[in-house]
A = this chain, B = another copy of it.
């Protein structure tokens, strides 16, 4: 039987070249069992005319399918579905009739119910996206990233791509982090004191698993990164939220039974405060006295475009009490999922074993691509470019916020990518955010950052990492108008 050209249709949502789309139509037809072994394909002339493309496009797609044994040619009589083509199974797929399991009983542990994600997925469609932590594609050096990815996919590197590293990392990436990235934060570490993670989130999660138990106490900053609070809640340790001030975490407020402190000294999340040197030294002295450990999340240190960043807290650590977390995800792009843990070998050994059990290792191809992007200097060039753009945006934004009399609660002395904002106490920024959304303005309500049952509702975060400078004035204007109009 011949397959009619009429059974081919363009899928309006399909991507890729026309040739690839034609290949895909035929491969899917064979894999799904619609086209069967021995059936004749339409001639290239007929199919070309039906689909409105040139014959050579059809011929090239057929040639590819021929090479992959999906189709075979029989002399001059044309192409047929090959005897060797993948065949559909000889049984029918069925759907589970009914879910009869009592899942409320069957689930041993629950992980859902944490802080919901507050950013709409279609944030790109809003005119004024003052949201945090999404990459601005216009700043990203996609051309060079693509070149590095290609190099990492090349013949020479192919084994780095296919290899099961078991519990190890790409040695090239580890070497770059040890020799270049960490020294810029004042840290010297050996390769066996570094572990690559699936972003900073994964590093925080591992540190919590290794250092905490149900009987231990973790001190966290209040407000803090909501996902950190979720991670610690899941670990069932005791939580001690410590209110931060304009200098970040005050170590004198830590309870005496503290086992682990989670802190963001370079750039407190979300208030943007930077911890002064004296307070860092006090924190380290207190850690020694009370024998606790510190997990330092050094997020966003690269965005220090106003003045040079101070060295990491870890660089002052004389005792090996600080576990350091760095990340390429935020500044490269969040979808990359690449960060790292730095700490004493006994800790890194446990983290390596845990990671191996949970997921083995971050994919080799991504590690190698990042290693090239870093070692060719593209990463630092990108950071400079982003810093310049953020500097401009920040100036425009600060002027607009001041002009409209909006209250800045924190703005980061080194730079960063956001302002921490405050309204009058009776304003609920959740309601404000909803009203703004209908006007194309996205802001982040502040309540999820706080740990209390009844968190303050009059804070919000305004980021400039995803919004172009040209939109900032109008966006802030809309924000001020909405805030000042009766609810």
Taking beta carbons and an 8 Å cutoff, which residues of A are in contact with B?
15-16, 20, 23-24, 26-28, 30-32, 65, 68-70, 84, 86-101, 103, 106-114, 117, 119, 121, 124, 133-135, 137, 140, 142, 145-146, 149-151, 153, 155-168, 179-180, 182-189, 198-199, 201-202, 205, 209-213, 216, 227, 230-231, 234, 259, 288, 293, 308-309, 311, 315, 317-321, 333-337, 344-347, 349-350, 352-354, 356-366, 372, 375-378, 380-381, 383-385
Contacts and interface: CB of A to CB of B under 8 A. Distances in A.
A265 to B, nearest CB: 15
A377 B198 CA distance: 29
Nearest to A388: B84
Contacts of A385: 69
B360 A166 contact: no
Contacts of A137: 158-159, 162
A37 to B, nearest CB: 13
Contacts of A106: 211, 293, 347
Given A32-B180, A210-B107, A383 B86 contact: yes
A150 B151 CA distance: 11
Given A293-B101, A359-B201, A93 B380 contact: no
A94 B198 contact: no
B344 A211 contact: no
A364 to B, nearest CB: 4
A101 B347 CA distance: 10
Given A93-B315, A213-B109, A98 B320 contact: yes
Most buried by B among A24, A92, A157, A163: A163
Contact of A146 (B65, B98, B153, B198): B153
Nearest to A145: B153
Nearest to A311: B91
A188 B107 contact: no
A20 B156 CA distance: 15
A109 B354 CA distance: 10
A117 B320 contact: no
B357 A111 contact: yes
10 contacts: A15-B151, A93-B311, A101-B344, A106-B293, A124-B159, A135-B163, A137-B159, A201-B358, A234-B357, A363-B366
B183 A309 contact: no
Contacts of A230: 357
A79 to B, nearest CB: 15
Contact of A142 (B158, B209, B357): B158
A16 B372 contact: yes
Given A99-B344, A347-B107, A186 B334 contact: no
Counting from the closest, the 7 A-B pairs by CB-CB distance are A27-B377, A164-B334, A99-B320, A68-B381, A162-B333, A198-B359, A103-B346
Contacts of A108: 209-213, 216, 259
B99 A384 contact: no
A68 B134 contact: no
Contact of A186 (B91, B109, B362, B377): B91
Nearest to A377: B27
Contact of A318 (B98, B119, B363): B98
A337 B360 contact: yes
Contacts of A166: 117, 119, 121
A151 B365 CA distance: 16
Contacts of A259: 108
A335 B163 CA distance: 5
A79 B1 CA distance: 70
B186 A93 contact: yes
A318 B97 contact: yes
A68 B378 contact: yes
B101 A319 contact: yes
Given A121-B166, A142-B153, A160-B335, 12 more contacts: A70-B377, A86-B384, A93-B187, A99-B344, A109-B209, A111-B353, A111-B354, A134-B163, A145-B153, A146-B150, A198-B358, A201-B357
Nearest to A135: B162
Given A308-B90, A344-B103, A381 B319 contact: no
Given A94-B315, A199-B360, A376 B101 contact: no
Contacts of A160: 335
A309 B319 CA distance: 58
Contact of A198 (B117, B158, B360): B360
A84 B166 CA distance: 41
Contact of A376 (B24, B150, B180, B211): B24
